[in-house]
Amino acid sequence: MWLISNKTFVRDSGLLENFHDCHCHLLPNVDDGVKETDETLQILEEWEDLGVKEVWLTPHVMEDVPNTPKDLKQAFEKLNTKYRGKIELHLAAENMMDGLFTNRLQENDLLPIGIEGKHLLIETSYYIPPINMEEIIEKIKSKKYIPILAHPERYQYMDATAYRKWKQRGVLLQLNLPSLVGAYGPEALHKAEWLLNQGLYDFCGSDTHSINHTRYFLNSMIKKKTVKKVRKLIANTFIIE
């Protein structure tokens, strides 16, 4: 009973009130995320009821999913003709740090995240880092972008030393909220709670890929003390410049 009383359902927790999601895969039929526009609209309607204010759509861009900014902009414009809700939608991308990314970075052919386009959302393999990760990070910074590393808690090769190292080198860290309910397993949950407790996160994202993913998260239980910490993080960092 004590354990239950210290938890609440995400849906009832107020966690998403005034939430500004900086990472999701709601742009239809462009990657491994949502496939149909109706499903995207259904998710956005549910989120609006829970108080979400702003959403950055961040489809994958990688060698296996070679989306171009031009094609993604066209898909985004099409979605905007269908969406009539109150959530403010923006387009960016989640960039795998691979050869395609380094080429696009060199050519400035990217979709940055943030109102002023100062940031780039980046990711790596969950199992091993890019051989030249440090070089890529420095190239990002040389182009006057601020790197945001997506879901660091999910990278099996990273530990406390690595997290602190990247923070010291100017890399911001983005929490996947479903990590806090065990959506990616106990190791990611443990790391997410540690990073949150250490104050190392800078932004939050849902990394939503489907309505089933959304409902799993909303219907999961989360620690009440964790909700308070995330709400504080959201309140302090909800705008990406």
Give the pLDDT score at 234: 87
**pLDDT band, very low/low/confident/very high, at 235 (cuts 50, 70, 90):** confident
3-state secondary structure of 91: strand
2-237 carries CATH number 3.20.20.140: yes
Average pLDDT over residues 32-47: 98
Handedness of CA 206, 181, 203, 120 (dihedral sign): negative
Buried b (16+ CB within 10 A) or exposed e, 89-106: bbbbbbbbbbebbbebbe
* β 7-9/221-223 pair status: antiparallel
Which pLDDT does position 5 carry in this prediction?
A: 80
Q: Is pLDDT of 238 > 80?
A: no
Read off the pTM. Answer: 0.96
CB 55 within 8 A of CB 214: no
pLDDT digits (tens, 9 = 90+) for 109-148: 999 999 899 999 999 999 999 999 999 999 999 999 999 9
DSSP for residue 36: S
What residue segments make up the domains of the chain, in order of their start? 2-237
Q: What is the DSSP letter of 17?
A: T
